[in-house]
Chain A
């Protein structure tokens, strides 16, 4: 019986046929990885950063691997893939990120399997939850409720009021176009909540008190939210606690206002989060 070679020499010799490499794409030893290449953040604690990389790849499926992972090709690896230059797919497979913490090829293999499963899961769920909002989807979000009682005359009256309003001039004017933070905030809100930010105001009895000073128009009801408000609000949108549900976010906003103002009025609370704690709270409030 032939003596079994150590892991280093097995991978270093690389006389294995191409077929085997396709099954186990990366079999790099720690020694073969340059010291400045640390493991990707997905293996080290922060699951959100792994979301980031997968989210990026989901959004830009064409530019994910080649540019970012090309520096991780080791000379060892490059030398053994005989037909890698002719086959782009195989080259992509061989340039998968290498985990320097994997001590053995077996550990490396299981890490690869785990990573592939995670990628498969994210590619199935992330685009549908937080994908870019399409134009038709946006139209559906911004469309008013369809009601048979709403006549053409009502629509015409509303439009004439809207056309004459100062708010329209502000929104369509130069001022609005120069406000990049507002545009970014709206995009993020639509993407994460699948609803316009104004839904918080309209449906959940919330009014924005953002300036506390008089302006040319009544900014409280205006969609021209202040930079301070938008910039503070924006990071909150990505929190998974809301589950992409504007009702849940509105509930927490209401609670923060209630606690700040010591509001003892009856709180019209509904459980949109499907959380047992809210269920009990609804019974008590």
Chain B
């Protein structure tokens, strides 16, 4: 997935916030032990969302810099 994202980024050299986010998520998740899920396996199984995935996204947004993660103040205003 990382190679794919890099290839896409290389083709179109403009910076994208989504590319930054995807790379940050990749960097956060890559150290975790994995077992490949290949095409054909777990067919029609949904994506299993765990709280740690959301924490990872939050941390990745933090990695992106000041404009990645919203300020808690902006949330408390609502």
**CB nearest to A49 among chain B residues:** B73
Say if the beta carbon of A262 comes within 8 Å of chain B. Answer: yes
Distance to closest chain A CB from B59 (angstroms)? 10
Q: Once the chains bind, are A253 and B37 in contact (CB under 8 Å)? A: no
Q: Which of A48, A55, A239, A260 has the most CB of B within 10 A?
A: A260
Within 8 Å by CB of B8, from A130, A209, A241, A277, lies A277
One of A146-154, A158-166, A230-238 contacting the partner: A230-238
Chain A contact residue count (CB 8 A cutoff): 58
* Interface residues of A, Cβ cutoff 8 Å to B: 46, 48-49, 51-53, 55-56, 59, 130, 188, 191-192, 200, 204-210, 226, 228-229, 232-241, 252-266, 273, 275-278, 280-281, 284-285
List of B residues within 8 angstroms of A255 by Cβ? 22, 25
Q: Once the chains bind, are B38 and A265 in contact (CB under 8 Å)? A: yes
**A285 with B4: in contact, given A256-B53, A260-B34 (CB under 8 Å)?**
yes
Q: Once the chains bind, are A280 and B11 in contact (CB under 8 Å)? A: yes
Q: Once the chains bind, are A241 and B17 in contact (CB under 8 Å)? A: yes
**CB nearest to B50 among chain A residues:** A209
Interface string of B15-45 (1 = CB under 8 A from A): 0111101100110011010111111111100
* Interface residues of B, Cβ cutoff 8 Å to A: 1, 4-5, 7-9, 11-12, 14, 16-19, 21-22, 25-26, 29-30, 32, 34-43, 46-58, 61, 66, 68-78
List of B residues within 8 angstroms of A209 by Cβ? 48-50
**CB nearest to B19 among chain A residues:** A277
Known: A192-B78, A260-B29, A277-B18. 12 other contacts (CB 8 A): A51-B77, A55-B74, A233-B54, A238-B74, A253-B57, A260-B56, A263-B37, A276-B12, A277-B16, A281-B4, A281-B8, A284-B4
Distance to closest chain A CB from B22 (angstroms)? 6
Q: Once the chains bind, are A259 and B1 in contact (CB under 8 Å)? A: yes
Within 8 Å by CB of B21, from A229, A241, A262, lies A241
Query: 27 A–B contact pairs at CB < 8 A?
Result: A46-B66, A51-B77, A205-B46, A207-B46, A226-B51, A232-B51, A232-B55, A232-B58, A235-B75, A236-B54, A236-B58, A241-B68, A255-B22, A255-B25, A256-B29, A256-B53, A256-B54, A257-B53, A258-B47, A259-B1, A261-B34, A263-B47, A265-B37, A265-B38, A275-B16, A276-B12, A277-B12
